[in-house]
Amino acid sequence: MKIERLLQPRILASSINVKNPIVMAPMTTFSGNPDGTVSEAELSYYKARSKGVGIVITAATYVSLSGKGFPGQFAAYDNSFLPGLKKLAEAIKGEGALAILQIFHGGRMAIPADIPDGQTISASAVAPERPGAMTPREMTQAEIQDTIKAFGETAKLAIEAGFDGVEIHGANTYLLQQFFSPHSNRRKDHWGGNVEKRMNFPLAIIAEVKKVVKENASDSFIVGYRFSPEEMENPGITLDDTLLFIDILANQGLSYLHSSIMDFWQSSMRDTKTTSPIICKILDKIHGRVPFIGVGSIHTPEDAIKALDSGVDFISLGREIIMDPEWALKVQSGKISEIRTTLSKTQEKELDIPAPLWNAIINTPGWFPITE
């Protein structure tokens, strides 16, 4: 009977029917075309992985030329990208899943060689703590407003392309997190200072996206927000900072919140004296006000059921869906023992994994369990 919990329909944002609580997590493929359009290999990859799951959240797409964060990242900053985005939405929805486009700007983590003038931008002129990192230029007031508008324009493209929603990417050290972080944001104006002021930029983007959605889409269009609970830099985002932010986010009329952590049950990275799972603190703070998607090393159906028992509304699977595109279908058909938990070096074509992503997997020791 417990397996039934992974098959039961869910309601998102009070009116959106989702066939089950299994979400394909957003993961970059490095596989877009050189001109930033969606590639045929990506369409095949997403089509294969949209079978059985309730929701697919795409890899992050960048909202302006200055925001490209990955080699082979597909773009969505003007109408020229609309045909490919339409094909992507159709590939996902054609298999019965809801299609959500993750929208993002890399900020100081963008690729210098791939952005205008080769100069990264961010909340402040503070370099990331990594070898050889460029010091970004502090964004002007005009650039901040232009970027807010760009998120809205990309949300409009998502609507026109037929996506069911967008996820605003506020996690994983990218621009929205950079404004929230005391490490990367040293501003003293409206956009920085105390923790409440550091929320202003992501909240302005949420407001702009919601405004565009209200003007151009139905009430069933999904707007989610993803966040990272902590960062290791000093000064850096603390769990207390994030809980304050979650308290505000939960009242923004969002369709869901989505954490980004490596292990669903992990405790604080910064406060080693606290051993209780971060996820429990997040759920306590949300207090049922907005649906929550949990993530992190959920490998088996048993792991997924245990995660749902914590009180999260949905669970997102990343590496698991790459290794086994039919993960959800095998749960539904009772073939749990057949769920693939390792990758063989011979399975690239069989699993519809684009070559750039396959090469990243094979050449990143410890990322995936790989067999010969």
Residues recorded for the chain: 372
Please give the backbone phi and psi of residue 237, each rounded to the nearest 5 degrees, phi first.
-65, 130
Q: Can you name the residues that pair with 52 across neighbouring β-strands?
A: none
CB of 237 within 8 A of CB of 182? yes
According to DSSP, the β-strands at 55-62 and 165-170 are unpaired
Most distant pair of Cα atoms in the chain: their distance = 58
CB of 297 within 8 A of CB of 281? no
For tokens 């996902």, name the residue.
Answer: 92
CB of 38 within 8 A of CB of 82? no
215-to-46, 146, 161, 164, 212 alpha-carbon distances in Å: 29, 19, 16, 15, 5
Q: Alpha-carbon distance 268 to 273, whole Å?
A: 9
3-state DSSP helix/strand/coil % of the chain, to nearest 5: 40, 15, 45
The 10 Å CB-count burial string (b at 16+, else e) for 217-227 is beeebbbbbbb
Q: Alpha-carbon distance 125 to 244, whole Å?
A: 26
Nearest to 318 by CA among 114, 57, 4: 57
Q: Judge whether 225 counts as a catalytic residue.
A: no
Reply yes or no: is the peptide bond before residue 182 cis, omega within 30 of 0.
no
Burial status of residue 293 (CB atoms within 10 A of its CB: 0-12, 13-18, 19 or more): buried
Neighbours of 242 (CB within 10 A): 23
CB of 269 within 8 A of CB of 236? no
Q: Alpha-carbon distance 353 to 206, whole Å?
A: 33
Please give the backbone phi and psi of residue 11, each rounded to the nearest 5 degrees, phi first.
-110, 130
For tokens 């990192």, name the residue.
Answer: 133
The residue annotated as part of the active site, out of 62, 174, 225, 256, is 174
- Residues taking part in catalysis: 174
